[in-house]
Chain A
Amino acid sequence: MKVTLKPIFSWIIFGISMASLLVFNPSTQAQDLSALEIMQKNEAARKFDSMVTRTKLTTGAKTKEFSLWRKKQANGYNRTLTRFHSPAEVRNEGILILENESGRNEVLIYLPTFKKIRRVETQQQSGSFMGSAFSYSDIATPHVNDYTYAKLKKEPCPSAETAKLICEVIEATPANEDIRDRTGYSKSHLWVRPDNFMLVQAHYFGLDGTQIKILKSTKTSLLDAAKKKWHSHHIEMQNLKTQETTVLEFLKVDIKQEISDSTFTQQNLQKVN
């Protein structure tokens, strides 16, 4: 019996291993999915029900620190409030980003010196977020339905921590003119990891079709294993026009804190010490 069982077990183990590879191999997973399905999984992996972070924004020698509160609404779109702590000149400045289905997000800025709230025009939302290489639209999260997608190619993921993975490169095109105007991008090329569907790199193209920005996401970790939620703690954006690079670092991330809807109102935006 001993003689006959051994090869049987070996075959069973081999079979299970092969099945596991077929089912769980990340490359195989992504390969079978359409571009839209990959991006839906990307959105599912990166979008939290709520999130509170302490964040550092560094451009050259200039560093700004802010807190960020973000909450997913019933329609799947986020509401985001940022409140700056430093430098002193922008301390207590608040920015409220209200995403909505029309693609025309509302951005409201509270200026503590004036004690007033100013609206940011939709077109201006493609402009620099607090003097950084990020725009207001970059800080707001992209919504999967705001774009159409096409697979471009597969290639090794372009970062040291994902070098062994083969990324799917997907082209995202704004679904309508409002989204084009708001983001200032005619299209973007997205390098998506096959294992957790998180973004590794993105190339952004301006309205004239030329490439204007490069984004790199690293230090990606699993924050919620039950819901398979991931977060990139280090995001670098290079503006190819100005040759400036900004690093967005999440110093602390809390996804368990309950956030009241009243956090994202104009009344709360102007309530500062």
Chain B
Amino acid sequence: MFKRWMIVSALWIAGVAVADPIAPPPAESSDEDAPRVELHGRALTSAFAWIQHPRAGRMAQKNFSVWPELSWSDQNWGAKVIAYGHVFGDSLENPSQLTSDAGLWDAWVRWSQNGLEVQAGWLLVPWGKSDGVNPTDVLTAKDFQFLSLDDELRRRGDWGLRTSWTPQGGNSPWNWETVIQLRAPQSQLLLPNLNVPTGLTLRTDVAERSRPTFATRLQYLESDWDASLSFYRGTSTLPQFEYQAALSRVQAFYVGLTSVGADFSSSLGNSQVLRIETAFLFPDNGSSNDLAFGRVQPHHWDTVIGLEHAFDDSWRVQVQALVRHHWNFRPVSEVRDPNPVVTQIQQAIARSNALVLNFPEATNPGGSVRFSYDSIDRTWNASVSVLGYLAAGSQFLVRPRLAYAPADSWKLTCGADFYGGNENLTLGALRGLSTISAEAAWFF
């Protein structure tokens, strides 16, 4: 604990030290190629309060967080370290306790020349073009237990090596990217109340069966459209639950995953942008021949088709159709074992996995809409996002946000996450975790 405090304090002091308002300006343009070291980052304090009975009004999370960023670049070389440090007054894991957490967020060394780029370190590699829901985004995890008004701050990476090659010395529209990670990043879930049968323990903190990750993507990037094909073989960043009879427990596993994906984006007319993202995902134990079939998520196909439309300089809307289809699907009621007690347990496991990974039926159609407003001077920003699915009933998340930037380096944001719908479905089950929130952020 003391060590973490020391790290957080050091990060904060480093942040304050570089925020000197009379610090000299950055190097001039002709010196763009000259080596330079810069220290930047963001610090924020935020508070999240429960809004659903019976915890309404109590704090879900109070935190002070800092992301100091140290970067260095030379002509062919570059390096960056972004760390994070949190001090929590309340957190989902430890309500009403003062705790802290610190670690690497994005840290790497890069070398590039003539269209070839090699990057090694703690990597965050988000893939996909659609808005918020990205079937091809299999390389980064998210810590959903860290509440944040900015979803991107929840991302978690891991150690890896990334190469990117653009032929013709960087001039070709083709680009080939490869990522190798020793271990896949692991998401921490905002778990709804899982109905684990009485007498069993639920272990969500142990990751096993993780294997090295290999991912590759071929992109074609033209000025008015772009497309990519991707392949991934590694471990899912989302856990699934399995019953371990010998230990009388339900265990969370990050299982092996293979996926093939594609995305596309293009301008459409004068005021629209079309984005399509699709992926076939094959969890190792998801085939219909597997002993776990019916209890875990089967092989499936995820697709997002979205259109972004700008009404004018300030108002815009993004509409997306979402489809998740499992071509071999076994309903929970058909999961059986010769032992009726085990059948009960296995069905409970199947229900939990369907709840956590959102596959209540063979096909789960859904959609998302996001309206946003930006004042012309970019001082005010307001948005409302709605995400919903329709299989086996309705479930939804409504996410309003209002941000005000009184100065270039300050931003005040308030918002809410309202989960609702059928309580046996993913977003409906999270109803009790709905929050309202406020945040003050300082960029230095």
Contacts and interface: CB of A to CB of B under 8 A. Distances in A.
Interface string B269-303: 11111000000000000000000000000000000
Given A115-B125, A254-B29, 11 more contacts: A62-B408, A64-B408, A88-B409, A121-B267, A121-B272, A124-B271, A127-B376, A242-B376, A252-B28, A273-B73, A273-B110
Interface in B162-220: 164, 166, 169-171, 173, 175
A41 interface: no
Contact of B30 (A65, A113, A254, A273): A254
- Interface of A: prevailing SS: mixed
Contact of B126 (A68, A114, A118, A261): A114
B124 interface: yes
Interface of A: 52-54, 59-65, 67-68, 85-89, 91, 98, 100, 104, 106, 113-116, 118-119, 121-124, 126-128, 130-131, 178, 181-182, 239, 242, 244, 251-252, 254, 257, 260-262, 265-268, 271, 273
A113 B155 CA distance: 11
Q: How large is the interface on B (under 10, 10 to 19, 20 to 34, 35 or more residues)?
A: 35 or more
Nearest to B112: A271
A265 B377 CA distance: 28
Contact of A262 (B30, B73, B169, B378): B169
B334 interface: no
Contacts of B164: 267
Contact of A124 (B26, B117, B313, B408): B313
Residue among B29, B267, B270, B314 with max Cβ neighbours from chain A (10 Å): B29
Given A122-B267, A242-B376, A261 B30 contact: no
A53 B166 contact: no
Interface of B: 25-26, 28-30, 32, 38, 40-42, 71-73, 78-80, 110, 112, 115, 117, 124-126, 129, 150, 152, 164, 166, 169-171, 173, 175, 221, 223-224, 226, 265-267, 269-273, 308-310, 312-314, 316, 376-379, 405, 407-409, 411, 443-444
Contacts of B125: 115
Contacts of B379: 131
B409 A265 contact: no
A127 B129 contact: no
Given A116-B126, A265-B166, A123 B112 contact: no
